[in-house]
Amino acid sequence: MAKAYWISFYREISDTAKLAAYAKLGGPAIEAAGGRFLARATAAKAYEAGLTERTVVVEFESVDQAIAAHDSPAYQAALAALDGGAVRDLRIVPGV
């Protein structure tokens, strides 16, 4: 079974306090669901659209595990804490 990758692109961060509240809950929720953080940073260099906002890459054992992590009560609580504090584009993609 191919691994899966959860990739979050932060398009805009409007409330750093809400982002901090999300991170306090979200990171542990993702790890408890089997996720392993591979990258969490602002882009070192951006091409194409030129967006350098924060990007997060998390590895899971499967697409199903990644989806379950996102849909878990613990992660949903983290999203509730974020409450519009950031505009993100989150994708779950299968590995090759």
| Averaged confidence pLDDT in the chain | 96
The per-residue pLDDT for 40 is: 95
The per-residue pLDDT for 51 is: 84
Q: Which two tokens stand for residue 78?
A: 């983290």
pLDDT band at 57 (very low <50, low <70, confident <90, very high): very high
Q: How far apart are the first and last CA of the chain?
A: 10
- pLDDT of 17-30, one tens digit each? 999 999 999 999 99
DSSP 45-83: S--TT----EEEEEEES-HHHHHHHHHSHHHHHHHHHHT
The per-residue pLDDT for 31 is: 98
> Over 80: is that where the pLDDT of 1 sits?
no
> Over 90: is that where the pLDDT of 37 sits?
yes
Q: Looking at residues 63-69, what average pLDDT do you find? A: 98
- The top-level CATH class assigned to 4-94 is alpha beta
**What residues contact 83, with CB distance under 8 A and at least 6 apart?**
18
Give the start-to-end residue ranges of the domains of the chain.
Answer: 4-94
